[in-house]
Amino acid sequence: MQLSGKLRTIVISETNPVLVDGIIHLFRGSSFFDDFIIESAANPDANFLARIAPDFLIFDPGPVESSPLTVAELYGASASATSLIAYCHEMSPSRAHLLLLNGFRGVIPKTSKVGDFLRAVISVVCGGVFCHEIYRERQTASNQIVPASRGDGTDLSEREAEVLRQVALGNSLKEIAVLLQISTKTVDTYKTRANQKLNLNSRADIVRYAIQSGWMT
């Protein structure tokens, strides 16, 4: 399934050759990736990334704690057009959200099931953001979150707050619609209304606000 006029490249950065072979086998077993170029490199450096210019980079960010977390800082290369997917050992939800807040498009634990891994990568390839469920904190006992307030009259309704939270977690409008049992158009209305109330202009703004509001940490 080719989504653009040129072949797109996915680079897998992993020192375990068995794991790399397993990931490549997964991709080759899915028709979705028939038109993708799959490369692997144990420790890609600046020259490698500049030469390949990957559209997607799957790697373990390891102990790096700097902010913002970018390919430039991690590998000494500038790759603003590269979508980053963290594929790592389990970490705290706050660390996972920090990665998403600072440019990563997906955070996947290495303990993920095959289906979860493929779903995550496909979600990112299609322009979405993926946060694995183990990094999603439980809601309150009533299964709702407390609507946010800025103290200036721009209070969110429960539905508006929940839609924003789900967007911050990386769910698409269609997925949120199924979850809340409402139409996609209604979800978009809640999202638009909430963004206007809070003056949020991007997904990064939404993620930042969700974290600051205590919805995800």
Residue 3, in any domain of the structure: no
* Residue at which a domain ends, from 110, 135, 160: 135
Mark whether 18 and 117 lie in a shared domain.
yes
* Residue at which a domain ends, from 116, 135, 154: 135
Residue 63: its pLDDT value, please? Answer: 57
Q: How many residues does the chain have?
A: 217
pLDDT in tens, 101-132: 777 888 898 888 888 888 889 888 887 778 88
Mark whether 27 and 125 lie in a shared domain.
yes
Residue 51, in any domain of the structure: yes
CA distance 148 to 106: 26
Mark whether 78 and 17 lie in a shared domain.
yes
pLDDT in tens, 78-96: 445 788 898 887 677 877 8
* Residue at which a domain ends, from 84, 110, 135: 135
Mark whether 19 and 93 lie in a shared domain.
yes
pLDDT in tens, 148-181: 554 444 588 888 988 988 888 778 888 888 888 8
Q: What is the CATH number of the domain that holds 43?
A: 3.40.50.2300
Residue 36: its pLDDT value, please? Answer: 92
Mark whether 68 and 84 lie in a shared domain.
yes
Residue 94, in any domain of the structure: yes
Residue 2, in any domain of the structure: no
Residue 171: its pLDDT value, please? Answer: 80
- Residues of the domain holding 199: 139-217
Amino acid identity, residue 185?
Answer: K
pLDDT band at 143; cut points 50, 70, 90 = very low
- The helix, strand and coil proportions of the chain, stated in percent and rounded to the nearest 5, come to 45, 15, 40
Residue 1, in any domain of the structure: no
Question: CA angle, 129 as apex, 52 and 214 as ends, to 5°?
Answer: 135
